[in-house]
Amino acid sequence: MKEKYLISGMSCAVCAGHVEKSVRNLKPVKAVSVNLVKNEMNVEYDGSQIASCDIIKAVENAGYGAAVSGGGASEQYVDEAMKKRLILSVIFLIPLLYVSMGHMAGLPLPHFLRGINNSLFFAGLQLFFALCISFVNRNYFHKGFKSLLKGFPTMDTLIAIGASASLIYGIYAIIHIWHCLLIGDLELVNAFQTDLYFESAGTILTFITAGKYLESRSKRKTNDAVLKLMELAPKTAFVEIDGVEQKRDLKDVKEGDIIIVKAGSFVPADGIITEGAASIDESAMTGESIARDKSLNDAVSAGTLSRDGYFKMKALKVGDDTLLAKIIQLAQEAGSGKTGMSRLADKVSAFFVPVIITVSAITAILWLISGASAEFALSCAISVLVISCPCALGLATPIAIMAAAGKAAENQILFKNSQVLETLNKATVLILDKTGTLTQSKPSVTALYPCKPATQEELLLTAASSESFSSHPLAEAIMRKARQMNINLKKASDFKILNGGISAIVDGKTVLAGNKKFIESRAIEINLPADFAKQSFEDGDIAVYFALDGTFLGIIFIADIIKESGVAAVKKMQDYGLKTVLLTGDNSATAKSIAAKAGIETVISQVLPDEKEKIVADFQSKGEKVIMAGDGINDAPALIRADVGIALGAGTDIAMESADIVLAKNDLNDIATAYKLSKATIKNIKQNLFWAFFYNIIGIPLAAGVLYPFFAIKLNPMFAAAAMSLSSLFVVTNSLRLRFFKG
């Protein structure tokens, strides 16, 4: 079984790795994935051997909190708790800084805190405020030392050691002040009074809590697009039962139910209109700002808004089966996997904290050996501990992935996992299926060539009337053209399907329709000029010949039209440097014509369904990274074989399940948008990783006092804490720039 848990207490990639390892050590657990950004964990396990409580216990033993999703604290609650901690910390920090440093700025102190004789009051009050801040932020000490004892030190361990060192040194100084007052050594009293370090402990804890709070608030913004989508799903629906309108919870609505949708209401399910009409705002699903009129037998989707009108609909897909639900699910799961860069960052983070603790200890020892004071050595060691930032390193990848997934969901581009973004970024070839992907999969009339003196309208009137009984796609194309030209059909009778064509009686005359061979077999002379329809023949369009009472009437050409977005999408991908290939089972002439219109460079035609996968593999064997876009059952093997499989939202369920990306809007331009987003995301991750590594490479030596012998530059632990918090905040803020991405 699969279950989702909310995890509390994680602060860095090391924490996430610790939680993941603790749960994975449970033998019945088959798979576990921790999402640091969302503080969530997905676990797949054998429910017959362990229960949720066992998994929760494993997490708690690791030093963190866990609850089954839905039964634990929400992100909002966690934010509020952290906000309260921050406010209390600031309340105690202000008087601590005033007492410890105010006199340096010329601010007055109460008389009982001034002078050598009041040193114990001066130091004791600072200790009180520092202990209050430490108590408010006691979770750092609890988790930090617990993970250290278990052999898995985390970012909290660095904070706990740094703050504890400052507190212990301050308490050590108070003991010396008391002792020196007893023996009358006022010079030493003054020395210890000016170097208590309680303000460092308080400032470190407060700055880090402030950074964590801002980081948490910023991380929540990565889910804004998903949250907006979730708000589109209504909680209730009006269902017609035995002719009576009843209000039901959405979870109780079933497939086949007749749902009533009123003006101003969101559509609660996917289905078709059975009665009435309305103007439907589909902007959330398609991006189209103009509402579309819907009436009998038109499809409607969950999450769209009925602007006006009233209609009844038959529910075909409800609950988690709706397109809206799938968009939300895929967007939420997009950040659960790990990219190659993320795994690299996790490996570095795993040994980062122990290395930093070692570097801090060596720093203190080297300064003591060099003759520096204990206070100076301790200051450098604490600075090393608090400036180090595995948080930024651990957040560099997942926060960018989540921001990208949210932006993709906003554009109805659904990534199945985070690895797709990294793979898509490396693509070199785009292979497009023809029918239903590049073309509309809906034959349309492209040309009408009547035999004079007949006109185009007369040819179409006779053709459409004779085809009115046929359900063939070519007949449907002729009927649509007649409706577009507002032609009123004549009544047809005696409709027959023959070998190669059809016959019917229209207005008392016999109409024959079919291919050239069919018409010629009836001894009917086709007397069009040789070059009359030459271009249509060269384009590979299908020619349907018509005769009326033994006399040739004309030709209607029909073809599958390229989607409006097809040409623009191909051009964009070529501009990005990708090779484009048309892969189809259609004949060579039609394939070449479609490819020429779309601007596609390479054409592979007359391919059997099982050969598509082999062709994709051939490209890969030449070192190409392949994107395959398709929509049919026959495309599924090729979509799976491709480095990145892209399915169109209007395609088959099998194609969508086989693909890595689903384009819910059915717009080929979204292929280019997805590719551009992957480029932007990987660039963003590289920026984050560069900053995280560069920050530590520069910050740690600076904190250790490397520049002090040459330039007398030394980093105060308080500034080190502020820099650490700003480092994480920088990574999060940089990732949030993806929210402003435009395709």
Tell me how far apart the alpha carbons of residues 702 and 707 are, in angstroms, rounded to a whole number.
6
Exposure of 110 in the CB half-sphere (CA atoms within 13 A): 10
Which among 177, 207, 169, 181 is positioned nearest to 193, based on CA atoms? 177
Q: What is the three-class DSSP state of 560?
A: coil
Q: In this structure, what token pair is assigned to residue 69?
A: 């999703």
Q: For residue 443, which of 569, 570, 542, 534 has the smallest C-alpha distance?
A: 542
Exposure string over 717-727, b if 16+ CB within 10 A, otherwise e: bbbbbbbbbbb
CB distance 451 to 553 below 8 Å: yes
Among the listed residues 380, 385, 387, 378, the one whose alpha carbon sits nearest the alpha carbon of residue 358: 385
DSSP 139-183: HHHHHHHHHHHTT---HHHHHHHHHHHHHHHHHHHHHHHHHHHHH
Match 């997490």 to its residue by tokens. Answer: 59
Return the SS3 of 400: helix
Q: What secondary structure, in 3-state letters, does 18-39 show? A: HHHHHHHCCCCEEEEEEECCCC
What dihedral angle (degrees, nearest 10) is formed by the CA atoms of 420, 426, 431, 436?
30
The residue assigned the tokens 């708000």 is 231
Q: How far apart, in Å, are the Cα atoms of 345 and each of 349, 393, 418, 686? A: 6, 6, 15, 11
CB of 546 within 8 A of CB of 556?
yes
Distance (Å, rounded) from C-alpha 301 to C-alpha 280? 10
Sheet holding 29-35, edge to edge: 29-35, 40-45, 2-8, 65-68
Burial class for 699, CB neighbours closer than 10 Å (0-12, 13-18, 19+): buried
Residues assigned a catalytic role = 433
Task: Tell me which residue of 252, 291, 295 sits closest to 272, measured CA to CA.
Answer: 295
Residues 6+ apart with CB under 8 A from 546: 459, 462, 463, 466, 511, 512, 513, 552, 553, 554, 555, 556
Rounded Cα distance, 405 and 335, in Å: 7
